[in-house]
Amino acid sequence: MAQLAHAATDIIATRDRIAAHIVGRERELELTLAAVAAGRDMLLEGPPGTSKTTMLKAITEEWGIPLFFVEGNADLTPAKLVGHNNPARVLREDYSADNFVPGPLVQAMEAGGFLYIEEFNRAPEDTLNTLLTAMADRSITVPRVGTFVALATFRVIASMNPYDNVGTTRLSTSVSDRLNRLAVEYQDAPAERGIVELRTAAAGALGERLVADAVAVTRATREHADIRQGSSVRGAIDSVLVAGQLALLRGLDGPTDRDYPELFFDAMIVALSGRIHLDEAAATTPELVLREIWEDRFILDPATAEPG
Ligand SMILES: Nc1ncnc2c1ncn2[C@@H]1O[C@H](COP(=O)(O)OP(=O)(O)O)[C@@H](O)[C@H]1O
Ligand SMILES: [Mg+2]
């Protein structure tokens, strides 16, 4: 019992230290931490910008272990994931452990780090199968090179975007049966404002209005009928940063300047037009859709646009 109480104090303190670096996300952090602390691998399923990388960075930093990033796509062959033999040296010296160039999987196993595979469902089947063996055995044998045994803190974390519908495969049951899973949704508006404030260091009356407007229009891109997938919080962060520079360039006189709305629209074009994905059937353009969203906020409903 005393041991259990000690373990509880430990993981609670760990959770609290990690939470200090993250805006909100208490539940997601607690569930992710519980899974990795239990020694388990995990799939985080959610659209971009929903704190997946932020949480993993915070956990691995707290544990003092490296985080290895891999992008899942059709080119992610087993050899790219595991490693390959240096061909010139193999010709000169034959196969050996010395001539092996480890890929991110072997690097993560040997360093006891997290292997984070984004867009997991875009990776080819044989690559996923290689990964399954490594996950099950916690070691991997490379023919003519040797066996690499994972340190205890090695984990595989996969992520995928549920809106993703090009070049993806559905996970086979043999893959999904070996992973824990957490669906991550967009943050709520106050949390997004907190994130944008933190990442842009926006301050003062202008900063406050920029953050409020940026989060509101970014969230509106996720509701618009012509948009298949709207912008993540990254679009709100960039709207604030771009608008801040435009304000300097144009000598804006604070948030109530009559030029503010048009300036903000220009920042939206830069920060959001590439981040919204229109419905194939929609006969419109990102710029037109953004203009509608801007009008909703700045013309039709100016009361909500006034600060305070
Ligand atoms: N909970 C959070 N606290 C602080 N910053 C966050 C949080 N969530 C996201 N961010 C910031 O938003 C951006 C995208 O977040 P990220 O974790 O990379 O998203 P994902 O990996 O889900 O695509 C990053 O700049 C990150 O710093
Ligand atoms: Mg990420």
Best substitution site from 25, 54, 211, 234 to test ligand 1's pocket, by max atoms within 8 Å of Cβ? 54
Token digits of residue 97: 């452990």
Which of 183, 203, 230 finishes a domain?
183
Q: Are residues 177 and 43 in the same domain?
A: yes
CA–centroid distance, residue 49 to ligand 1 (Å): 5
pLDDT, position 239: 98
Which of 183, 212, 237 finishes a domain?
183
- Name the closest ligand to CA 69: 2
Alpha carbon 189 to its chain centroid, in Å, reads 18
Instruction: Give the mean pLDDT of 204-219.
Output: 97
How many domains does one find in the chain?
A: 2
Q: Are residues 60 and 170 in the same domain?
A: yes
Provide the greatest CA pair distance for the chain.
75
- Name the closest ligand to CA 116: 2
Q: Residue 300, exposed/middle/buried by CB under 10 A (0-12, 13-18, 19+)?
A: exposed
Q: Which residue in this structure is represented by tokens 């618009």? A: 224
CA–centroid distance, residue 52 to ligand 2 (Å): 6
Confidence of residue 2 (pLDDT cuts 50, 70, 90): low
Q: Are residues 178 and 230 in the same domain?
A: no
Instruction: Give the mean pLDDT of 9-21.
Output: 93
CA–centroid distance, residue 232 to ligand 1 (Å): 9
Q: Are residues 76 and 154 in the same domain?
A: yes
∠ CA 121-122-124, rounded to 5° = 100
**Which numbered atom of ligand 1 lies nearest the CA of 23?**
3
Q: Are residues 10 and 139 in the same domain?
A: yes
- DSSP, collapsed to helix, strand or coil, labels residue 7 as helix
Phi, psi of 164 (to 5 degrees): -65, 125
Q: Comparing C-alpha atoms, which of 21, 15, 53 is closest to residue 35?
A: 15
CA–centroid distance, residue 118 to ligand 2 (Å): 7
Model confidence at 237: pLDDT above 50: yes
Q: What is the pLDDT of residues 253-271, one digit of tens each?
A: 999 999 999 999 999 999 9
Q: Tell me, what CATH number does 168's domain have? A: 3.40.50.300
pLDDT, position 308: 44
Residue percentage of the chain with pLDDT more than 70: 93
Q: Are residues 20 and 163 in the same domain?
A: yes
Q: What is the pLDDT of residues 22-42, one digit of tens each?
A: 999 999 999 999 999 999 999
Q: Which residue in this structure is represented by tokens 């975007």? A: 161
Pocket of ligand 1, beta carbon within 6 A: 22-25, 48-54, 195, 198-199, 233-234
Ligand 1 atom 5 nearest Cα: 195
Torsion angle in degrees (nearest 10) through CA of 191, 116, 122, 275: 30
- Asked if 175 and 115 count as a contact pair (C-beta separation under 8 A), the reply is no
Q: Are residues 165 and 193 in the same domain?
A: no
Q: What is the pLDDT of residues 159-191, one digit of tens each?
A: 998 877 655 566 788 888 889 999 999 999 999
Residue percentage of the chain with pLDDT more than 90: 79
In the chain, which ranges are continuous DSSP H helix?
A: 2-19, 26-37, 52-63, 78-82, 87-93, 104-111, 125-137, 173-176, 189-200, 204-221, 233-249, 260-272, 286-295, 302-305
Which of 139, 154, 183 finishes a domain?
183
Q: Are residues 193 and 280 in the same domain?
A: yes
The sign one gets for the Cα dihedral 185, 188, 191, 192 is positive
Q: Are residues 109 and 233 in the same domain?
A: no
Which has the minimum average pLDDT: 33-37, 79-83, 299-303?
Answer: 299-303
Residue-number span of the structural domain to which 172 is assigned: 2-183
Q: Are residues 249 and 227 in the same domain?
A: yes
CA–centroid distance, residue 129 to ligand 1 (Å): 30
Q: Are residues 293 and 160 in the same domain?
A: no
Q: Tell me, what CATH number does 269's domain have? A: 1.10.8
pLDDT, position 61: 96
What b/e readout covers 15-50, taking b as 16+ CB neighbours within 10 angstroms?
Answer: beebbeebbbbeebbeebbebbeeeebbbbbbbbbb
Q: What is the pTM of this model?
A: 0.89
Half-sphere exposure of 228 (CA within 13 A, CB side): 14
- Name the closest ligand to CA 49: 1
Q: Are residues 166 and 245 in the same domain?
A: no
Q: CA 302 to CA 299: how far, in whole Å?
A: 5
